Structure 1
């Protein structure tokens, strides 16, 4: 199970690195910029999570496979785009949804391993899923997806709660992981496809 968890974490790193590389490409960055954005996107959320949980050394410091996977994913994305045609915005959002699903569950799992309460585990799951993308968008001078009128962090919260709930019901770990990831992925893709969003708050000035 630990090996499966590790591989899924690396998959999330690769997917988020792809989204970082694609975003950097849309800003016409050079190869160094592409690598920096890809690595920040892939490892930013997990780094902040590990620092808060005092989980030292953080994942990519104790295991340089994380950096290697992120770098290879970034370089591979650049080569793929140059040999084929550019990926549309919807493709970028769907790739981001896959990374979001993997990192939300892995962040929740790590918090539970540190004996954190449910509320903290959910926050760590959301943080692991969204922080890398927030850093990516801020550096690339974009409004982060989490602050737009789309269901984004809400999908993470739902997936994290489903994961914790299934474990409490003693569902097998691999099944709970798969279902929780699917909840995040389906919720996010549905929001993209049907433009679903939470109600917005408009404060009107009164004379």
Structure 2
């Protein structure tokens, strides 16, 4: 099993925790099955859409039960540690969601490139991988998806993905490139939230 596989499982777990915490934050008194549904769609929604678009069959979580096991474990972990996280991390949902979009943007980009997709289409598919699960999660919670709000959400993903592609063409070591790109997305997103950065709106 290669590093890409384990990184995919890691990203699945991080996003599953994000989905669970989001459900607990937005909807009170949910049972474990409902929390699993929130975690599941958050963790695999974007990757499933990406795999369907690039015709990567079967979809990873369908052929490999480890993905579902990771989601189940992540839900239990998120529920068991929810009060501890709230005590240690001021905004645990933001932290896990940001790590998730960082990992899945670059991971989705790499998978698209490996499938023979051109670089700039791969960038878009990386963004889809990172954001689409959160869109489903927020829609189920009857919330406006973060990507449709003015705060910078997709922009850090685009920046990190573009950096990855350019660094790849320049011959940067793949592991270093992956870490730097994920780090760029994560730091950019956290700074944008802290300082309230947003793009100027287009008015009609």
**TM value normalised by structure 2:** 0.94
Is the aligned partner of 1:24 residue 2:23? yes
Q: Deviations over 1:97-117 (max 9, x none)?
A: 000000000110011011111
List per-residue Cα deviations over 1:125-150 (Å, max 9, x = no partner). 00000001110000011111101111
Cα shift readout 1:157-205 (whole Å, capped 9, x = no counterpart): 11111111111111111011111111111110111111111111233xx
88-97 or 125-134, which deviates more = 88-97
Provide the alpha-carbon RMSD of the alignment: 1.5
What pairs with 1:69-80 in structure 2 (closer than 5 Å)? 69-80=70-81
Q: Would the aligned equivalents of 2:85 and 2:92 in 1 still touch at CA under 8 Å?
A: no
Partner of 2:123: 122
**Inter-CA distance 61–192: structure 2 relative to 1 (3 Å threshold):** same
In 1, the alpha carbon distance for the partners of 2:126 and 2:82 equals 31
Q: Give 1:94 shift.
A: 1.8
Partner Cα distance (2:10, 2:196) in 1: 27
Corresponding residue of 2:137:
136
Gaps of 5+ in 1: none
Indicate if the aligned counterparts of 2:86 and 2:92 stay in contact, CA closer than 8 A: no
Could you say if the C-alpha distance between residues 174 and 91 of structure 1 is closer, same or farther in structure 2, counting changes exceeding 3 Å?
A: same
CA distance in 2 between partners of 1:85 and 1:38 (Å): 17
| Residue-pair matches, total | 201
Partner of 1:5: 4
Residue by residue, what CA displacement relative to the aligned partner does 1:51-84 show, whole Å, maximum 9, x if unpaired?
A: 01000000101111111101100111111125x4
8 Å Cα contact 2:102-2:183 kept in structure 1? yes
Shift of 1:91: 2.3
Runs of 4+ aligned structure 1 residues displaced above 4 Å come to 85-89
